[in-house]
Amino acid sequence: MIDIRQMRYFVALAETLHFGRAAERLHISQPPLSRQIAALEKELGVRLFERHSRRATLTHAGRRFLEDARAVLISFDQACRNARLAERGELGELSIGFMMHAAYTVLPGLARRYMANHPGVRVELREVVPATLTDAVLAGQFDAAIMFNPGPIRGLETHTIYRERLCLAVHASHPLADHAVIRAKQLAGEPLIAVPTDVAPKLREAIVAYCRSGGFEPTFRLEVALQQTIVNLVAENLGIALVPQSMGQLGIANLVHRKLEKAPTIEHVVAWRPSNLNPALQPFLAEARAVAL
Report angle CA 238, 241, 247 to the nearest 5 degrees.
115
The listed partner (DNA, a copy of itself, none) that binds 79, CB under 5 to 8 Å by sort, is a copy of itself
Q: Tell me how far apart the alpha carbons of residues 18 and 10 are, in angstroms, rounded to a whole number.
A: 11
Nearer to a copy of itself by Cβ, of 36 and 227: the residue is 36
Tally of helices (H runs) and strands (E runs) in the chain? 9, 12
The listed partner (a copy of itself, DNA, none) that binds 132, CB under 5 to 8 Å by sort, is none
Q: Tell me how far apart the alpha carbons of residues 268 and 105 are, in angstroms, rounded to a whole number.
A: 9
Q: How far is the CB of 259 from DNA (least distance, A)?
A: 56
Nearest Cα neighbor of 219 from 239, 197, 195, 189 is 189
Q: How far is the CB of 83 from DNA (least distance, A)?
A: 17
Q: What is the CA radius of gyration of the chain?
A: 32
Q: How far is the CB of 102 from a copy of itself (least distance, A)?
A: 25
The binding site for DNA (CB under 7 A) comprises 3, 5, 17-20, 27-32, 34-39, 51-56
Is the CB of residue 59 less than 8 Å from the CB of residue 50?
A: yes
Q: How far is the CB of 139 from a copy of itself (least distance, A)?
A: 18
Nearer to DNA by Cβ, of 30 and 117: the residue is 30
Nearer to DNA by Cβ, of 19 and 104: the residue is 19
| Residue 73 CA to its chain's centroid (Å) | 32
Nearer to DNA by Cβ, of 33 and 235: the residue is 33
